[in-house]
Amino acid sequence: MRTIVDLPEPEREELDAQCRQRGLSRAAALREALKLWLQHQQPRHEKVKRLWHDRPADALTLQEALRQEWIDR
C-alpha cells in the first residue's frame, strides 16, 4: 500500500542524510521506523500483569469489587 507523508524540510533532510549513510531508501527507512514504533506501542506482559495484581482472581469477585469501587465514588 502506498501512503503519502508530509515531512517538514529539516526532518526530510535528516532522513535523507541517514538513508545515504545506511544505504537505504526513504521508504525502507520509514517502514523500519514504523515497525519499531508499532512494536513499542504493544504493552509488555509484565506491565499488563502488574495492572491487575491487586484485583481478585475470579471474574465474579472482580465484577463485584469493580461495582463497589463505582458505588464508593
- CATH code of residue 18: 1.10.1220.10
Answer yes or no: do 34 and 51 share one domain: no
Answer yes or no: do 38 and 17 share one domain: yes
**What average pLDDT does the segment 28-40 reach?**
93
Domain that holds residue 21: 1-42
User: What percent of the chain stands above pLDDT 70?
Assistant: 88
- For residue 57, give the DSSP letter: S
Alpha-carbon distance of 52 to 47, in angstroms, equals 10
- Indicate whether this model's pTM tops 0.95: no
Answer yes or no: do 35 and 52 share one domain: no
**What average pLDDT does the segment 30-41 reach?**
92
Cell digits of residue 70? 463505582
Q: How many CA atoms, within 13 angstroms, populate the side-chain half-sphere of residue 47? A: 5
Answer yes or no: do 7 and 21 share one domain: yes
Task: Provide the domain count of the chain.
Answer: 2
Answer yes or no: do 51 and 71 share one domain: yes
Answer yes or no: do 54 and 31 share one domain: no
